[in-house]
A and B are shown apart, each in its own frame.
Chain A
Amino acid sequence: MLNELTIWELAGKLERREVSALEIMRACLDRIERVEGSIHSFISYDAADALEQAAAADRHLVGGTTRRQKPLLGIPIAIKDVLAVRGQPLNCGSKILGQFISPYDATVIEKLREAGAIVFGRLNMDEFAMGSSTENSSFGPTRNPWDTSRIPGGSSGGSAAAVAADECIAALGSDTGGSIRQPAALCGCVGLKPTYGRVSRYGLVAFASSLDQIGPLAKDARDAALVLGAISGHDARDSTSVEGTAPDYTAALDGRIKGLKLGLAKEYMIGGLDGEVGAAVQAAVSQYEKLGAEIVEISLPRTEFAVATYYIIATAEASANLARFDGIRYGRRVEGSDPIDLYCKTRGAGFGAEVKRRIILGAYVLSSGYYDAYYLRAQKVRTLIRRDFLNAFDKVDAIITPTSPTAAFKIGEKADDPLQMYLSDIFTISCNLAGICGLSLPCGFTASPKLPIGLQLLGKPFGEETLLRLAHAYEQITPWHNEKPPLER
């Protein structure tokens, strides 16, 4: 089936005119119709618009446009409901945005269109990207394609599930503390969080502005490289996007990793690490040694403080960013006796429980009398966490860790205990605090039930090429990324 293929396989078929973009898009839409009832990756999708884009891509192909000119020509890429797509709804998995329709395209959407992609769908997510399970969506949870009684991870759970279930060819997600990498790990796909500044955030609904970054979820490392290449680069509309053009990430995929140094952090061998996950990561480390990488023990001494630091900084920034949802300029409004009453009622009715908790926590750590004790202290610990990573990268080219301490858990299992949910982010959040890049790729399965296990590679600032090189080399000697979930085909 065409929807099961990778971007690079499809691009070859399109170029040789063996298939049309319309056929690929139809294959994805057929698949969505068959499996959405059990997965619910999408909040909505506009099939007519997607087919129109496919027809336009076919006209380009007939006109002689090449893969070189438009590397994603005719490839359906689905979008997390946190990115603005002109003329399409945008809800961030929340009720508060009501019937909001985006008046413009995010920069990454413009770039995908320039590269020829068919941009479609609104992928489910934890409300405002706050969560690790997609259970916090006000549109209902997404289910893991490998076991529909389990969560797909979050907050980009819809993105990961849609890629894993072959409902699209690749997807965009956003990652503030692991929201691309953790769902990629739990659904068995490749997810990449670029270095802060690599990808423009213009048109991304802000959660925590010093941590947020947009990135690809894909079926393998080559596809992740193709999508990252298309969306990267400087943008004058995001003052935190870095100058200069991005490299051709696919050029790094030559399978050669001999002599690269991989760091193993002793602090990541924690008590809560599941035995099967630990064993799969150990096996991956051995395979990297066989490929010629050198394994070096490193130390990241502030690891145990990362979760606490993150939940101060991220909530503080969120409390400021989400102040804009006040019922005045867009979204739902609940009338009140005066403006303050209107704000309180609108936000009380519009936000879900986790978003309320985090905004309240953020307002508290920034409030008079507590700013120094919480927020300023967390920013200082952030300095130490970043320093730990930069020191480690003096000795190694990348760091190898599990992505998540366990495979996918059951829907409802952690829903009543937010702190337990936060602690499952232990391996992913430091990456955002330090502003480095990270990638998750499949490295095995648990035995019963059969659930994907993710391997995380953390790289130097702007070291995405090294991560993709490492991931691609590993894929050449392992079968994991080719396995498909046991859904009705």
Chain B
Amino acid sequence: MPGNFDVKYVAHLARIALTPAEEEQFGAQLSNILGYIEKLNQIDVSQIEPTAHAVPLVNVFRADEVRPSLSNEEALANAPAKANGLFIVPKIVE
């Protein structure tokens, strides 16, 4: 895939605006990195289970009870825009 890596498309999927200069630079660098990653095709993994996580863990449950957490004020303390105890965001529904 390295040859036709569409950096503009993937950057949009990742919600990152790139300048034309970044598109050109990252496109070349990422094609180079993906070329290197092709190395993994040399290994036969057909009989191998994937590892998501190195430590074998089962689901960790706790009782569904209210516990102390951040206050409304604390949760909003770092907000870039807030009013009336809420985050302010751009209009979503017309």
Q: How far is the CB of B65 from chain A (nearest CB, A)?
A: 12
Stretch with Cβ within 8 A of B (4 or more), from A59-67, A120-128, A377-385: A377-385
B55 in complex: contacting residue of A242, A307, A343, A360, CB < 8 Å: A242
Report, as a range, how many residues of chain B touch the other chain: 35 or more
Give complex CA distance A186, B45 in Å. Answer: 36
Contact A381 B89 (CB under 8 A): no
Contact B80 A377 (CB under 8 A): no
Contact B50 A356 (CB under 8 A): no
Give complex CA distance A196, B52 in Å. Answer: 13
A384 in complex: contacting residue of B33, B48, B54, B57, CB < 8 Å: B48
Give complex CA distance A307, B38 in Å. Answer: 12
Contact B48 A380 (CB under 8 A): yes
CB nearest neighbor in B for A325:
B15
Given known contacts A335-B90, A359-B16, A329 and B79 CB-to-CB distance under 8 angstroms: yes
A-side contacts of B51, CB under 8 Å = 379-380, 382-383, 386
Whether a CB of chain B sits under 8 angstroms from the CB of A76 is: no
B-side contacts of A340, CB under 8 Å = 15
CB nearest neighbor in B for A364:
B10
CB nearest neighbor in A for B5:
A364
Most buried by A among B26, B33, B53, B54: B54
Given known contacts A210-B52, A242-B55, A308-B39, A360 and B10 CB-to-CB distance under 8 angstroms: yes
Majority DSSP secondary structure for residues of A touching B: helix
Whether a CB of chain A sits under 8 angstroms from the CB of B64 is: no
A-side contacts of B30, CB under 8 Å = 357, 360-361, 364
A-side contacts of B83, CB under 8 Å = none
Contact A339 B90 (CB under 8 A): yes
Contact A461 B55 (CB under 8 A): yes
A104 in complex: contacting residue of B14, B34, B70, CB < 8 Å: B70
Contact B37 A360 (CB under 8 A): no
Give complex CA distance A302, B53 in Å. Answer: 18
Whether a CB of chain A sits under 8 angstroms from the CB of B77 is: yes
Given known contacts A242-B55, A379-B52, A331 and B78 CB-to-CB distance under 8 angstroms: yes
Q: How far is the CB of B19 from chain A (nearest CB, A)?
A: 8
B-side contacts of A356, CB under 8 Å = 11, 16, 18, 22, 26
Q: How far is the CB of B64 from chain A (nearest CB, A)?
A: 14
Whether a CB of chain A sits under 8 angstroms from the CB of B66 is: no
Whether a CB of chain B sits under 8 angstroms from the CB of A183 is: no
> By the criterion of a CB under 8 Å from any partner CB, how many residues of chain A are at the interface?
78
Given known contacts A330-B79, A386-B51, A377 and B33 CB-to-CB distance under 8 angstroms: no
Contact A103 B49 (CB under 8 A): no
Q: Which residues in chain B, 28-46, are within 8 Å of chain A measured between CB atoms?
A: 29-30, 32-34, 36-37, 39-43, 45
Contact A378 B40 (CB under 8 A): yes
Give complex CA distance A312, B37 in Å. Answer: 8
B-side contacts of A374, CB under 8 Å = 37, 40
B-side contacts of A381, CB under 8 Å = 40, 43, 45, 48
Contact A101 B78 (CB under 8 A): yes
Q: How far is the CB of B8 from chain A (nearest CB, A)?
A: 10
Most buried by A among B7, B30, B33, B49: B33
Whether a CB of chain B sits under 8 angstroms from the CB of A332 is: yes
Q: Which residues in chain B, 60-92, are within 8 Å of chain A measured between CB atoms?
A: 60, 62, 70, 74-75, 77-81, 87, 89-92
Whether a CB of chain B sits under 8 angstroms from the CB of A488 is: no
A329 in complex: contacting residue of B10, B87, B91, CB < 8 Å: B87
Contact A103 B11 (CB under 8 A): no
A-side contacts of B14, CB under 8 Å = 319, 347, 359-360, 362-363
Contact A360 B52 (CB under 8 A): no
Contact A302 B77 (CB under 8 A): no
Give complex CA distance A149, B46 in Å. Answer: 48
Q: How far is the CB of B60 from chain A (nearest CB, A)?
A: 4
Contact B26 A360 (CB under 8 A): yes
CB nearest neighbor in A for B77:
A103
B interface, CB within 8 angstroms of A: 1, 5, 7, 10-19, 22, 25-26, 29-30, 32-34, 36-37, 39-43, 45, 48-55, 57, 60, 62, 70, 74-75, 77-81, 87, 89-92
A interface, CB within 8 angstroms of B: 98-101, 103-104, 195-197, 210, 236, 239-240, 242, 302, 304-305, 307-309, 311-312, 319, 323, 326-333, 335-345, 347-349, 351, 353, 356-357, 359-364, 367, 370, 373-374, 376-384, 386, 418-419, 422, 433-436, 461
Closest 6 pairs (CB-CB, A-B):
A435-B54, A348-B17, A379-B50, A330-B78, A333-B80, A380-B45
16 sampled A-B residue pairs with Cβ under 8 A: A98-B80, A195-B55, A210-B53, A305-B39, A308-B37, A312-B40, A329-B79, A331-B78, A332-B80, A337-B90, A341-B90, A360-B16, A367-B13, A377-B41, A380-B48, A384-B43
